[in-house]
Amino acid sequence: MICVGSVGIGRAAGRLVGSAAVALAQHAHCPVAIIRADGDSSQRKRIVAVVDRHSDSDEVLHRALDEARLRGAALLVLGVRRWDAGAISESELARHLQRRLPDYPDVAVQKCITDTATEYLVTRNESVQLVVTGCSDANKLTRLVGPHRFALAAYPNCSVLLIRPS
């Protein structure tokens, strides 16, 4: 795993992710974590797992559950639609969860089917500390943690863990 921080100079630094961090996430052959400031650590924040029909979804869910347990946070699992794979069904999402949840009885989990993770998060007032997603989202990374003109600028302290298949 490679971990990098958000970078920048001046007032906008907390809202921007450097081009090197984005390029690294897009081209690395291992998981990449882009870590941003924690902000108000007294506030309980969720972990979000973005799950689809791609082969890395089980690993995304596993890592998200691990992070939720480590942080004492609830997990929101978003089943999303992909142009190349179609929408994940409720039953497919339930099967993913059924395989993993017995090992995590201490993690509170909610699930939702949505078109895109960014659209879902922007339209709700969720408190998110980490988004765990698969490599199919590498090209959308700036929407998750990127420059202020993108949708999730409302989440200036949201880190991203990009999972690559083992």
Q: Is 47 helix (H, G, I), strand (E, B) or coil?
A: strand
Which pLDDT score is estimated for 68?
A: 97
CATH code of the domain containing 116: 3.40.50.12370
Q: Domain total for the chain?
A: 1
User: pLDDT 10s digit of each residue in the chain, 166 long?
Assistant: 888 876 554 444 444 455 677 777 777 888 888 877 665 555 668 999 999 887 788 899 999 999 999 999 999 999 987 666 667 889 999 998 999 999 999 999 999 998 888 778 778 777 888 999 987 766 665 566 555 444 445 555 678 898 887 6
SS (H, E, C) 72-83: CCCEEEEEEEEC
pTM above 0.85, yes or no: no
CA distance 10 to 14: 9
Amino acid, res. 45 = K
Name the residue range of residue 111's domain: 2-163
Q: Is 19 helix (H, G, I), strand (E, B) or coil?
A: helix
Nearest one of 3, 121, 130 to 67, comparing CA atoms: 130
